[in-house]
Amino acid sequence: MERYDLIVIGAGPSGLSAGIEAAKAGASVIIFDENEKPGGQLFKQIHKFFGSKEHRAKVRGFNIGYQLLKEADEAGAKVELSATVLGIYQDKEVVVKIKEGIKHFKADSIIVATGAAENMVPFEGWTLPGVIGAGAAQTMLNLHGILPGKKVLMLGSGNVGLVVSYQLKQCGCDVVALVDAAPRIGGYGVHAAKISRMGIPFYLPYTIKKVEGTDHVTGVTIAKLDPSFKFIEGTEMHFDVDTVCVAVGLSPMSQLLKMAGCKMDDNPRKGGQVPVIDEHGQTSIPGIFAAGDVSGIEEASSAMIEGRQAGIYAANYLGYIEDKLMKEKEDELDKALDGLRQGMFAPSNRGKKIEKTEEGIDISNNLLAKGFVADEEIERFPGVVHKLGIHPVMECTQNIPCNPCQDACPKKCIKIGSKITSLPAVDESVDCIGCGMCVASCPGQAIFLVNENVGEGMAEITLPYEIYPLPEVGEKGIALSRAGHPVCIAEVVKVRTGLAFDKTAVLTIRVPKEFAMKARFYKKEKLAKSV
Amino acid sequence: MHELVDRSLKDEEFEEREDDDMLICRCEEITKGEIRRAVHDGMYTMAEIRRYLRCTMGLCQGQTCAKLVKGIVARELGVSPDKLEPATSRSPMRPTEMYVIANEEN
């Protein structure tokens, strides 16, 4: 039997963060993870994270994973991989399957950070090969470099469905449609807009009627739902696809806590069965804590902060941190957590329809229903201005906790202010130098630089672009609108890829000036012809 | 402690439905119809359903289907799924081969 001060179960964002804090305080820590690689979901998150600069916004998820591993190593927290915890027994004895054997461990405190599992929804044909979770598709793409299929239909418009659709498209898959049974898109509008302008249509409120095929998926039929979630006859649409991705939410993997005897609560708002925890993340069993998705579904940024808090609480429980210092650290992290839980998508707003932004501006209904802000709606947002010369146009229209753009601009053209959820506004008194830092830094890819008149009746639009191989300067392709419709011919005049852009290329296209506020994406002509 | 299930909840006849042959628990190959029928046979809790049909007890240990099974049972009983107590969690938390368990260190 090996003994530690603290056993952490799960080496994802929250478990690693917890282990780091407790080890830094002096506790002996071991972190178990059943996977071959640490990081939980972080290593398949190739997109840039939202949030504040202090909490790693605009850093790609997998890079956050590397940072955490390094930190854990420096703090002296041991990470044991391919180590499946089979049970938590009396007096905090933990039984672990490590490779081909069983080992026993004991600790004075345990932090359970086991995360969550994907939900499924049954429909005719759901067990056919080719129907997979969106998370599974992401694992195949980003960890193993395998395409799950060539033509994909995505069910679910939460952030997972939106982000994975974008990544499928980046890998060259044809995403034929994004379908959700809810009447409104569930995830961030900027994520939806990003895939809309690539030409992926949204169908809401629709759901899958049946998946066709004998030994694998060959097609799918969707149909529209009435307000009582019944199919409306005659609205069926068929798509030839080889893959159906399902992104219909997550459920906490809380079985270990239940087995340990912790008091549980079945809470649909938290995604399912979660442990009852106090304000310090402690369960009904003293010394056993829970952090991250296992205590209620949120996202990775808040899981990391919750993890740090749990690590600090456990260190205090173990006697390594005094109450006063714990309180100081706790207050600081509470503030950060509060910041992330603000805005339109705050946990307290789940399921509510928000009509106006915090600034009192009407929310774009088109964005919620179709995935893009309509031409007649876009002008009312503070990031959209018109002036002579090059200037940023920020199509950021929902209050989300994110502010990297404010610090990205070396000229301080962009203002969000102290409230992290405020919509970015343009300071018109300062001249934009067109450096493109804001364009590349926006995790929602919602910032464009527009020069509405470069002479000869032309305008230039600078946009974020992440589809490789990159276009070449001088080539001509199609400019697409926010809805993903072709609007005009566009010539690529600049392609910038700096280290600071972190693999988001900053592309400048030239279009007739009447399309300056319409063209928002570039499609290579060869691809355009093949469709 | 969850409320005791009212055993008089389900007295109407079992009615066949179009999607009864849809697989719900793929590890143990249990259909929606079998789960619905089990409720009419008097299985009102997740523990009873499990013992009666073995659903949620296969390779995935209910990771995929537990929520679906619970939803079907709840709908059949006409109660909200959070009123049904989830099945007991037991070790081993993941399916484990016997030879691995035999390799136990003390």
The number of C-beta contacts closer than 8 angstroms across A and B is 78
- Distance from the A255 Cα atom to the nearest Cα atom in chain B, whole angstroms: 6
Peptide bond into A252 cis (omega under 30): no
- Distance from the A38 Cα atom to the nearest Cα atom in chain B, whole angstroms: 18
- Distance from the B71 Cα atom to the nearest Cα atom in chain A, whole angstroms: 11
Nearest to A303 by CA among A291, A318, A315: A291
- Distance from the B22 Cα atom to the nearest Cα atom in chain A, whole angstroms: 7
- Distance from the B57 Cα atom to the nearest Cα atom in chain A, whole angstroms: 14
Residue of B65, B89, B99 with shortest CB distance to A258: B89
Cα distance between residue A518 and residue A22, in whole Å: 52
Half-sphere exposure of A289 (CA within 13 A, CB side): 33
B1-86 is classed in which CATH architecture? Answer: Orthogonal Bundle (1.10)
A151 Cβ partners below 8 Å, 6+ apart? A173, A174, A176, A239, A240, A241, A242, A243
Q: How many helices (H) and strands (E) does chain A have?
A: 13, 28
Cα distance between residue A466 and residue A443, in whole Å: 12
Q: Which residue of A255, A267, A274 is the best one to mutate when testing the B interface, meaning the one whose CB has the most B CBs within 10 A?
A: A255
Rounded to the nearest 5 degrees, what angle is found at the Cα of A176, between the Cα atoms of A173 and A180?
120
The domain limits of chain B are 1-86
Q: Which residue of A84, A102, A106 is the best one to mutate when testing the B interface, meaning the one whose CB has the most B CBs within 10 A?
A: A102
pLDDT confidence of residue A531: 42
B103 contacts on A by Cβ (under 8 Å): 100-102
Query: What count of other Cβ atoms lies within 10 Å of the Cβ of residue A476?
Result: 13
pLDDT confidence of residue B43: 92
Check CB contact under 8 Å for A259 and B19: no
Check CB contact under 8 Å for A84 and B94: yes
Residue in chain B closest to A85 (alpha carbons) equals B93
Q: How confident is the model at residue B50 (pLDDT cuts 50, 70, 90)?
A: very high
Cα distance between residue B56 and residue B75, in whole Å: 18
pLDDT block averages, 10 residues each, chain A of length 531: 97 97 98 92 92 85 94 96 96 96 97 96 96 96 95 97 97 97 96 97 97 97 96 98 97 96 93 94 97 94 95 98 95 91 88 91 97 97 95 96 93 92 94 95 97 96 96 96 97 96 96 97 72 42
Residue of A101, A120, A264 with shortest CB distance to B105: A101
Q: Taking a C-beta distance cutoff of 8 angstroms, is the pair A115, A10 a contact?
A: yes
Q: Which helix (H) or strand (E) holds A288?
A: strand A288-290
**Domains within chain A, CATH numbers bracketed:** 2-117+251-321 (3.50.50.60), 120-246 (3.50.50.60), 376-523 (no CATH)
A192 Cβ partners below 8 Å, 6+ apart? A157, A162, A185, A202, A367, A371, A372
pLDDT confidence of residue A108: 98
For A385, the token pair is 């201005």
- Distance from the A497 Cα atom to the nearest Cα atom in chain B, whole angstroms: 42
Which residues are A508's β-sheet partners? A462, A494
pLDDT confidence of residue A530: 44
pLDDT over 50 at B1, yes or no: no
Q: Which residue of B61, B91, B94 is the best one to mutate when testing the A interface, meaning the one whose CB has the most A CBs within 10 A?
A: B91
Each residue's pLDDT tens digit, B71-81 = 999 999 988 99
pLDDT over 60 at B2, yes or no: no
Q: How confident is the model at residue B13 (pLDDT cuts 50, 70, 90)?
A: confident
Q: How far is CA B59 from CA A32, A235, A246, A338, B95, in A?
A: 22, 38, 21, 40, 6
Residue whose structure tokens are 């179960």: A9
Residue of B82, B88, B94 with shortest CB distance to A34: B94
What backbone torsions phi and psi does residue A462 show, to the nearest 5 degrees?
-105, 125
Task: Please report the ipTM that was assigned to this predicted complex.
Answer: 0.92
- Distance from the B56 Cα atom to the nearest Cα atom in chain A, whole angstroms: 13
Cα distance between residue A12 and residue A276, in whole Å: 21
Residue whose structure tokens are 């919509």: A423
B106 contacts on A by Cβ (under 8 Å): 1, 104
Nearest to A161 by CA among A248, A251, A243, A44: A248
- Give the DSSP per-residue string, A399-430: --S--HHHHH-TT--EE--S-TTSPPEE-TTS
B85 contacts on A by Cβ (under 8 Å): 266
Q: Which residue of A104, A250, A256, A266 is the best one to mutate when testing the B interface, meaning the one whose CB has the most B CBs within 10 A?
A: A266
Cα distance between residue A315 and residue A25, in whole Å: 7
Q: How confident is the model at residue B11 (pLDDT cuts 50, 70, 90)?
A: low
Cα distance between residue A49 and residue A234, in whole Å: 41
B22 contacts on A by Cβ (under 8 Å): 122, 124, 126
B interface with A, Cβ–Cβ < 8 A, is: 19, 22-24, 26, 32, 63-65, 67-68, 81-82, 85-86, 88-94, 96, 99-101, 103-106
Residue of A85, A103, A104 with shortest CB distance to B93: A85
A94 Cβ partners below 8 Å, 6+ apart? A7, A9, A32, A85, A87, A88, A104, A105, A106, A107, A110
Cα distance between residue A21 and residue B98, in whole Å: 37
Q: Taking a C-beta distance cutoff of 8 angstroms, is the pair A335, A327 a contact?
A: no
For A437, the token pair is 């830092």
Rounded to the nearest 5 degrees, what angle is found at the Cα of A298, between the Cα atoms of A293 and A302?
90
